[in-house]
Chain A
Amino acid sequence: MKTSYVAAVLAIAGKDLRVELRSRELLSLMLIFALLSILVFSFALELDRVAREEAVSGVLWVTLIFASLLGLNRSLAQEYDQGNLDALLLAPLSRTAIFIGKFAGNALFTGLVALLLLPLMTALYGKNMLDPRLVLTTLVGIAGFCALGTLMATLTVKTRAREALLPVAMMPLALPFLLTAVRATKGILTNATEWQAWFQLLAGVALIYLVLCLLLFRFVVEE
């Protein structure tokens, strides 16, 4: 009576989506944070138009990463606080299915925030942020970051200082994403050919992290 892999992934991600559509806790929190962050950055950089344009890609990624951290914490806390993770682990499911289910939910929410952010930033910063290459880069970066985040949040959620620990544990490991994603974004915005090299590096890092996190998740949840 083993549950089919895809059905389990869909059930877990679908459950997160249903909870979210009902409460809109996570998405509204992430969105408000993202909007505030964009506004703060644009005020802070307002005086200097050139600096602002230079900083666009950095603003985008810093905002996305912190918004996603907010979501990740809540998403895993919701599994852990009521002991639900145990309930998932009790079911006859592959542990990787649980990981992918949670990861899919997290990536979906962060992806939605990004898709709302890009047109807004196009308007605010006067750059075409809706370039398909840029949308692709954003989604790849988010996928990698959320894979890492899902794993790390599963670890930190069990500790006392989890809200503080997650960013501290995540940021160094996420720097390769930040670095490559910012450079690729900048390359696309300035129409430089080097964006491809950075994009490939970003995709490579995202893939490596995704595979590693998938393999490591089993060890993180089993005691």
Chain B
Amino acid sequence: MPRLLRALTIATVLGFAATLYLGLFAAGTDIQQGAVQRIFYIHMPAFFGAFTAFGLSLFGGIMVLAGKSADWDKLALAGVEVGLAFALINLLTGAIWARPIWNTWWTWDPRLTSAAIMCLTYAAYLMLRAGFDDTERRRTFMSVYSILGFVTVLITLFIIRIVPETIHPVIVGASPQNAQGSFEATSGVMLALAPSLLLWLTLMPITLMWHRYRLEDRLESLNRAKLKALSE
């Protein structure tokens, strides 16, 4: 393992432990919502972690199409897998929070719907990827798909600014009128949120994606060796 990756891994694990402590213990309990509000310190950062990972897969897709090395395709794949995992954490934590606050696990609110569409889109990426034998064609197809798929990420990010009928609260900035379960971004909240957000935006996706990239790299050299052994 490269030394930098080892350092990143240690930093990520320590950072995660620290932000968990900040969110679960150091931050004050919300008066109205109680302890369940603490899930927010993971819920929102997870979305932005997914944003970083999907963004990197978009970048990987662009680089493949720009005729750069085929290695970028592995980055795109790593981005999609890590991003999808984060997006699912985001949905799951959201559902757990919504149960006591909105009195339901799930509602077809525009924001929730678009987040679900985003997850489906990237889940389909993995399914489609498995359906190709021709690696060159697969690379083109998946790159195009990862670029188009990013539109769903942007929609999820901006939908509440365009369609105001959502009940999903916005913590940083003005909440929509009919938002339910909003709370104030006091300095205490921000103190626990900011480090967590930073961690999920940068260290978490990058470290995980790097590991995933290395794994894919090994699989590929294994396949190459197999092909070589078979042809001899």
The reply to whether the CB of A126 lies closer than 8 angstroms to some CB of chain B is no
Residues of B whose CB lies within 8 Å of any CB of A are: 65, 113-114, 117, 120-121, 123-124, 127-128, 131-132, 136-137, 140-141, 143-145, 147-149, 151-152, 155, 159, 162-165
Instruction: Please tell me if the beta carbons of A219 and B155 are within 8 angstroms of each other in the complex.
Output: no
Which residue of chain A lies nearest to B137 when distances are taken between CB atoms in the complex? Answer: A158
Instruction: Please tell me if the beta carbons of A197 and B151 are within 8 angstroms of each other in the complex.
Output: no
> Considering the complex of A and B, which 10 residue pairs feature the smallest CB-CB distances, nearest first?
A172-B121, A219-B65, A172-B124, A175-B117, A172-B120, A155-B141, A197-B163, A216-B144, A201-B162, A173-B148
| Residues of A in contact with B, size category | 20 to 34
| Given known A-B contacts A159-B132, A165-B128, A219-B140, A175 and B120 have beta carbons under 8 A apart | yes
| Given known A-B contacts A168-B124, A179-B117, A212 and B151 have beta carbons under 8 A apart | yes
Residues of A near B159 (CB, < 8 A) are 201
Which residue of chain A lies nearest to B165 when distances are taken between CB atoms in the complex? Answer: A194
A-B CB contact pairs (8 Å), 20 listed: A148-B148, A168-B128, A169-B124, A172-B117, A172-B123, A172-B124, A173-B148, A175-B121, A176-B152, A176-B155, A194-B163, A201-B159, A201-B162, A205-B155, A208-B151, A209-B148, A216-B148, A219-B144, A220-B140, A220-B144
Q: Residues 180-208 of chain A: 1 if any B CB is under 8 Å from the residue's CB, otherwise 0? A: 00000000000000100110110011001
The reply to whether the CB of A161 lies closer than 8 angstroms to some CB of chain B is yes
Interface set, chain A 152-170, CB cutoff 8 A to B? 155, 158-159, 161, 165, 168-169
Residues of B near A204 (CB, < 8 A) are 162
- The distance in angstroms between the C-alpha atoms of A172 and B127, with both chains bound, is 12
Instruction: Please tell me if the beta carbons of A212 and B162 are within 8 angstroms of each other in the complex.
Output: no
Instruction: Please tell me if the beta carbons of A223 and B128 are within 8 angstroms of each other in the complex.
Output: no
Instruction: Please tell me if the beta carbons of A169 and B121 are within 8 angstroms of each other in the complex.
Output: no
Which residue of chain A lies nearest to B138 when distances are taken between CB atoms in the complex? Answer: A159
Instruction: Please tell me if the beta carbons of B151 and A200 are within 8 angstroms of each other in the complex.
Output: no
- The distance in angstroms between the C-alpha atoms of A171 and B132, with both chains bound, is 18
Q: Name the residue among A165, A172, A198, A220 with the largest chain B CB count within 10 angstroms.
A: A172
Instruction: Please tell me if the beta carbons of A168 and B151 are within 8 angstroms of each other in the complex.
Output: no
Instruction: Please tell me if the beta carbons of B114 and A179 are within 8 angstroms of each other in the complex.
Output: yes
The reply to whether the CB of A151 lies closer than 8 angstroms to some CB of chain B is yes
Q: Name the residue among A148, A168, A205, A216 with the largest chain B CB count within 10 angstroms.
A: A216
Instruction: Please tell me if the beta carbons of B151 and A205 are within 8 angstroms of each other in the complex.
Output: yes
Which residue of chain B lies nearest to A164 when distances are taken between CB atoms in the complex? Answer: B131
Which residue of chain B lies nearest to A219 when distances are taken between CB atoms in the complex? Answer: B65
Interface set, chain A 108-160, CB cutoff 8 A to B? 148, 151, 155, 158-159
Residues of A near B132 (CB, < 8 A) are 159
- Least CB distance from B6 to A in Å reads 37
- Least CB distance from B59 to A in Å reads 15
Instruction: Please tell me if the beta carbons of B121 and A173 are within 8 angstroms of each other in the complex.
Output: yes
- The distance in angstroms between the C-alpha atoms of A179 and B127, with both chains bound, is 23
- Least CB distance from A166 to B in Å reads 11
Contact of A216 among B65, B124, B165 (CB under 8 A): B65
Besides A159-B131, A216-B147, 12 new A-B residue pairs in contact (Cβ under 8 A), listed by A number: A169-B145, A172-B123, A172-B124, A173-B121, A173-B149, A175-B152, A176-B114, A179-B113, A179-B114, A212-B148, A213-B148, A216-B65
